[in-house]
Structure 1
Amino acid sequence: MSDAIISVESLRGQAQRLAPGIAVSALVAVTAQFLAEHYATPAMLLALLLGIAVNFLGEEGANAPGIAFSARSLLRLGVALLGVRISVDLMADLGAELIGLVIAGVFFTILFGLAIGKLFGHKWRFSLLTAGSVAICGASAAMAISAILPKDERSEERLIFTVLGVTVLSTIAMIAYPILVETIGLDQRQGGVFLGGTIHDVAQVVGAGFSISETTGDTATLVKLIRVSMLAPVVLVASLLIRRFADAPADGKRPPLLPSFVIGFLVLAALNSFHLIPAAAVLFLSQASRWLLLTAIAAVGMKTHLKEVLSVGRLAIAQIVAETLFIAVFILVGVKLIG
């Protein structure tokens, strides 16, 4: 009985210690969402920039533990809940050839990023982070992949730069790609496959697709969710390869063989595929995932100095742009060939 009382008191103390930082992170996330809805700007980008603007809150004091918890644990929970968006039905609606194209686009974009990394003066960690985020689902993928990479003194700088990069490029693509679709004469379904297969973030895919037509928007969203479904296998394979081939971190702590958030993602995707999760619960968990990721990225921003992020350099910008152009050309050629 006494052990149970001690445990409850310990949990209560832990909650009180984390609450201020979590509340501050959530407040930044809510502010970012409010501004996003009123000024047509990506909420993820605003959360990150607002977090960086108040980064002094994450350095010391009562807020620091909760901000660190939000940047780490809430991030993993948010990624895990993304699994409710995935089901086998998504695959069946698109067809084998286009599914193969989307999966090949993810696979070859990551290989391309790893291959060109040395040309731009970057090691495999940065290349995997940027290429994976470009190939899969932007900021969410960047945060998930970052969680399995061996940590060093520049880990958070690389993550922040990647989130900034893919979010800005995704916003540019949301504006430019629908114009490109019209210019080169893709039909509504082809346009949807191109937009969903190339734009980094889900929100921008939806915006770009429905700016053309409802059919294009539906197809683009479907294709994008198939890319999101690649998050778990990519993270799993990358984790296995890192444990097998990468040098051990300085602190001796290797990333887990199968991160818990990947297990959660797969379990929820499986349950949703068998229609075991009520529609209302799917909607609730999907929204919860979005808010958790928004809160997490705000917390990551509060732990970051913008000057350090910008020190990543012009070659880093060139690499992430090259990866973005690669997947765009790859999917466009594939769509044209398949017809």
Structure 2
Amino acid sequence: MSAFTATLSDPRRIIAQAKVLAPGTALAIVLAMAAQFLSNHYGAPVMLMAILLGIPFHFLSEHENTGPGITFAAKGLLRIGVALLGLRVSLDMVRQIGWGFVLVIAFCIAVTILGSILLSRFVGKDRAFGFLTGGSVAICGASAAMAISSILPQRETAERDLSFTVISVTAFSTVAMIVYPILAEALGLDQHLTGLFLGGTIHDVAQVVGAGYSVSDETGDIATVVKLIRVTMLAPVVLIGALAMRRHAPATDARPPLLPGFVAAFLVLAALNSFHLVPEVVIAPASTLSRALLVTAVAAVGMKTSLAKLADVGGTAIAMLAVQTAVLAGLVLVPLLLGLV
């Protein structure tokens, strides 16, 4: 019997474990609520607020009373939140946009991630950093960064790199939310093509929604659907990444699972939603819960981040993210301007 199964079969152990995790997890939830308040009342990006609010409380991640719960929030709650994202996607979205543009999106994601891995070597970073930043830019910003980080091998700079990526990609996404609608208008894109462009390029879902509906309802609807199709790509990317990490892991290391459990759950929920087997009354609360869990996980990551170590990432990494963002925008724009979709 595994330790996990043994724990589930013993209520006393469950209660004892809950008591250990409660203080740190509660702190992460409070910070997530504060971040959501700032987002609702002042329009600040909620993920950025969550991680920035968490960083000053780094000392709590090293305290014996709060450390275990913060670690659980950063990893356990993250995986549940990513799995629940599966209820936001379905094959109906693919049919609405068309397989041609879906293939364009898949190609752009692959090129962005592979290019980022290659580029990382020229800026003094490892392949894991390239995969982390490339995946967050190509797929869904902070959520993708969190999911990808969970399958990367243990590294001394893992938490620093994750925090840097979440902060940077959210900042770039916010800039894109303002600049990209102006760019689309300057290029003469109609509302439909503008929706495809915004949904295919902006990193975070919230910023896609903000940019799309600032143009028109039609643009907002299209941009949101395209963005959720990009979210769907998270599962195969994480799966392929896990297989690659498993293949290259030293024999002495514990290999990651062939299919991470949260990825399997994501795929199952997406399949159930595609066949309309999930009641509508469940989808909206599950989507809200997913976002709440992801914001809580980001706040916990902030608490696990040392500000001094964060400064060690360097300006070349910021330039790398800027290049990734620009490349993705160019890759999506070309077929739109040429009338290929």
TM over 0.5: same fold?
Answer: yes
Whole-angstrom distance in 2 between the partners of 1:5 and 1:254: 24
Within 1, Cα distance between the matches of 2:21 and 2:317?
35
How far apart are the structure 1 equivalents of 2:9 and 2:20? 16
Residue of structure 1 aligned with 2:207, choices 198, 204, 213: 204
Percent of aligned positions that are identical? 53
Q: How many angstroms apart in 2 are the aligned matches of 1:123 and 1:171?
A: 27
Spell out the pairing of 1:4-153 with structure 2 (5 A cutoff).
7-153=10-156
The verdict on how the C-alpha distance between 1:5 and 1:202 changes in structure 2, with shifts beyond 3 A counting, is closer
Matches of 2:311 and 2:179, distance apart in 1: 25
TM-score w.r.t. the length of structure 1 is 0.96
SS of the residue 1:76 aligns to:
helix
Q: Deviations over 1:81-108 (max 9, x none)?
A: 1100010100000112111111111111
In 2 relative to 1, CA 113–280 (structure 1 residues): closer, same or farther, beyond 3 Å?
same
1:273 aligns with 2:274: yes
**Is the contact between residue 7 and residue 13 of structure 2 (CA under 8 Å) also seen in structure 1?**
no
The alpha-carbon distance between structure 1 residues 158 and 4, as it changes in their structure 2 partners (threshold 3 A), is closer
CA offsets 1:11-56 (integer angstroms, 9 cap, x no match): 1111111111111110000000001111111000000000002222
The CA distance in 2 between the partners of 1:5 and 1:204, in whole Å, is 40
Query: Could you tell me which amino acid in structure 2 is paired with residue 98 of structure 1?
Result: F
Q: In 1, distance between residues paired with 2:114 and 2:98? A: 25
Tell me: CA distance 1:328–1:5, structure 2 relative to 1, closer, same or farther (3 Å): closer
1:247 CA displacement: 3.8
C-alpha distance in structure 2 between counterparts of 1:211 and 1:310, whole Å: 35
* 2: CA distance, partners of 1:79 / 1:61: 28
2:337 pairs with 1:326? no
Equivalent positions of 1:140-289 (< 5 A) are 140-244=143-247, 246-248=248-250, 252-289=253-290
Change in Cα spacing, 1:281 to 1:116, as seen in structure 2 (3 Å) is same
SS at match of 2:63: coil
* Deviates most, 186-195 or 50-59: 50-59
User: What code does the residue aligned with 1:74 have?
Assistant: L
User: Normalised by the size of structure 2, how large is the TM-score?
Assistant: 0.96
For 2:9 and 2:291, how far apart are their aligned partners in 1?
35
Q: Secondary structure at the match of 1:311?
A: helix
- Name 1:302's counterpart in structure 2: 303
C-alpha deviation, 1:327, in angstroms: 0.2
Q: Distance in 1 between matches of 2:250 and 2:42?
A: 45
How far apart, in 2, do the equivalents of 1:202 and 1:308 lie?
28
> In structure 1, what is the Cα distance between the partners aligned to 2:311 and 2:127?
19
Give me the CA root mean square deviation: 1.5
Where does structure 2 lack aligned partners over 5 or more consecutive residues?
Answer: 1-5
Counterpart in 1 of 2:3? none
Amino acid at match of 1:334: P
Deviation at 1:5, TM superposition (A): 11
- Quote the offset at 1:264 in angstroms: 0.6
Residues 256-311 of structure 1 deviation map (CA, whole Å, 9 limit, x = unaligned): 11110001100100000010111110111111100000000101111111121121
Matched residues, number: 335
1:234 maps to a residue whose letter is V
Query: Which one-letter code corresponds to 2:280 in the other structure?
Result: A
Q: Which moved more, 1:69-78 or 1:116-125?
A: 116-125
Residue type of the alignment partner of 1:314? G
